[in-house]
Amino acid sequence: MTLGLSLGVVVGYLVVALALGLVAYRVSETTAEDYYLASRSIGTLVLLFTTFATLLSAFTFFGGPNLAYAAGPEWLIVMGTLDGVLFAVLWYVIGYKQWLIGARNDYVTLGEMLGDRFGSVGLRALVAGVSLLWLFPYVMLQQMGAGEALVGLTDGVVPYWGGAALITAFMILYIGVAGLRGVAWTDTLQGLFMLSIVWVAAAWVLSAVGGVGAATGAMLEARPEFGSFGGGTYTPGFIVSTAITIAFGVTMFPQINQRFFVAKSAATLKRSFALWPVLVLLLFLPAFMLGAWAAGMPVEVPEGANVLPVVLNEYTPAWFAALVIAGAMAAMMSSSDSMLLSGSSYFTRDLYRPLVDADASERREAWIARIGVAAFATLAFVASLFRPGTLIEVGDTAFSGFALLALPVICALYWPRTTRTGMVVGIAVPQATYLLVVLSSVLPLVPTLPRTVLGGWDVALGLMVLSGALTVGVSLVTAPTADGDASRFAVTGD
């Protein structure tokens, strides 16, 4: 298959996704609740797959197999089992309570919910500002992944910046016309596509190398250490820290946290988080094992390249490799469009409207949201051209930043004694500290601070504990403000 046909598969996929988004746009209402939350009408299948597809990204499709190729298959334990189960539990602990509160009070964003509970525009703006800050590297991660994907698919004919620019332009166009309903529909299509294509890819490659036994034997012969648990990168500190920060971070991702508001019923929500661990394992098992098995295959993975496209180009026809790359780009787009849509809602509802123009019409707010999406995506694209780290490094930075929000939010949801000052200190101090840690690794002016301590434990894990301790401790020594209203969160559910 020629380069033109390979690119045609990718572009054709983008066109199909865009067409589906346009159909959704035609049946949508012109209200903010419909644009951002699809009028809280999402059923089980769509909720499950839109959350699934939104979470899957370049970090999963390329970063995960890359890490399994370099360090061994234990990455499957971190993401496929620990995180699958832990996130499902948090979906119940945080998501169900948020759904009950959101349905009663018509909240659209996390900042709006917390700001109303504590009577604080400042807290609302702080949550939105922190969320947008960490959203930036994660959008950049998708653009980096798209650039690298097309380089791998076309053997470098399409440059890195070309792939990153393609997904940026598509995201801006798509979010400009489609709201959450369109995003959720295309997510469902993309999630089903990714799940099926990755299993077909695994079966195809395994049949070419002689089956699971032969692939595993070759992997162990080339890398004997892959046959034992732990060691190398996979220290207990790395495994536990990564699983916890990713699972808690995911619940605070704007694009995931807003999914907690959109279910049409409690039964929809409960079925979704019960099925979640199974769905996650079904995807990660073939994707990550392909990366690990590649260590024993006679393939040459250039430095800085992604292992999955290299393996597919070696063992499958070009048209099929292009389909898988299209699936990977679907993963990036399904994450990016949701990120930008949620980011625009945080910007307009938690920053622009309360701080700049409280009387803005919905039409003006919609235009501000679209302009914000275009500016945000363009800036992230420019930053992605500098490649500030690997996909895993960039993704882990964003996960940890969001994870620092989780414990203060849990306190607010379940402990009526939580005060506004406790929330502000519990969020601001750990966030500022972690930002210094991140900046110290990229800015020479900031003294170098460690990302891990005590033999491999992520410093973000310690800052999560600090965020919870500060929220509780400061709340105990400060009084609730007159503007706060704990009864806003007093809901019951079965």
Nearest alpha carbon to residue 146 among 157, 133, 159 = 159
Whether the CB-CB separation of 460 and 398 falls below 8 Å is answered with no
How is 178-223 classified by DSSP, letter by letter? --HHHHHHHHHHHHHHHHHHHHHHHHHHHHHHT-HHHHHHHHHHH-
Is 278 or 167 the better-scoring residue by pLDDT?
278
b/e code 36-69 from CB counts within 10 Å (16+ = b): bbbbbebebebbbbbbbbbbbbbbbbbbbbbbbb
Nearest alpha carbon to residue 438 among 446, 402, 390 = 446
Query: Which residues are registered as beta bridge partners of 189?
Result: none
What φ, ψ does residue 100 adopt, rounded to 5°?
A: -60, -45
Q: How far apart are CA 310 and CA 288, in angstroms?
A: 14
- Mean pLDDT (whole number) for 343-363: 84
The pLDDT assigned to 116 comes to: 93
Q: How many alpha carbons fall within 13 Å on the CB side of residue 67?
A: 25
Copy the structure tokens of residue 22: 């346009």
pLDDT tens-digit series, residues 204-223: 999 999 999 999 999 999 99
Measured CA to CA in angstroms, residue 432 lies from 111, 148, 314, 401 at distances of 18, 32, 46, 10
pLDDT tens-digit series, residues 166-176: 878 877 877 76
pLDDT tens-digit series, residues 26-55: 766 666 677 777 777 788 888 888 888 777
Element (H, E) at 457: strand 457-458
The pLDDT assigned to 169 comes to: 84
Is 289 or 375 the better-scoring residue by pLDDT?
289
- Mean pLDDT (whole number) for 342-348: 86
The pLDDT assigned to 394 comes to: 66
Q: How far apart are CA 25 and CA 332, in angstroms?
A: 21
Provide long-range contacts, Cβ within 8 A and 24+ apart, for 434-442: 434/400, 434/401, 434/404, 434/459, 434/460, 434/463, 435/133, 435/401, 438/397, 438/401, 442/388
pLDDT tens-digit series, residues 227-253: 887 777 888 888 888 888 888 988 998
Element (H, E) at 13: helix 3-26
The pLDDT assigned to 11 comes to: 78
The pLDDT assigned to 494 comes to: 59
Whether the CB-CB separation of 294 and 69 falls below 8 Å is answered with yes
Is 61 or 192 the better-scoring residue by pLDDT?
192
25-39, 356-370, 385-399, 410-424: which is most confident: 410-424
The pLDDT assigned to 59 comes to: 66
> What pTM was computed for the model?
0.83
Question: What percent of the chain is modeled with pLDDT above 90?
Answer: 25
The pLDDT assigned to 28 comes to: 65
pLDDT tens-digit series, residues 372-399: 888 888 888 888 787 666 655 666 678 8
The pLDDT assigned to 19 comes to: 80
- Mean pLDDT (whole number) for 352-368: 81
Copy the structure tokens of residue 405: 């929000």
Residue partners of 4: CB distance under 8 A and separation at least 6: none
pLDDT tens-digit series, residues 108-158: 899 999 999 999 999 999 999 999 988 888 788 778 877 877 777 777 778
Q: How far apart are CA 384 and CA 165, in angstroms?
A: 10
The pLDDT assigned to 222 comes to: 93
Q: For the chain, how are helix, strand and coil distributed in percent, rounded to 5?
A: 80, 0, 20
Res. 177: pLDDT tops 60: yes
Picking from 216-220, 292-296, 446-450, which range would have the lowest pLDDT averaged per residue? 446-450
Q: How far apart are CA 102 and CA 37, in angstroms?
A: 11
Picking from 156-160, 277-281, 294-298, 375-379, which range would have the lowest pLDDT averaged per residue? 156-160
The pLDDT assigned to 251 comes to: 92
How is 94-107 classified by DSSP, letter by letter? IIIHHHHHHHHHT-
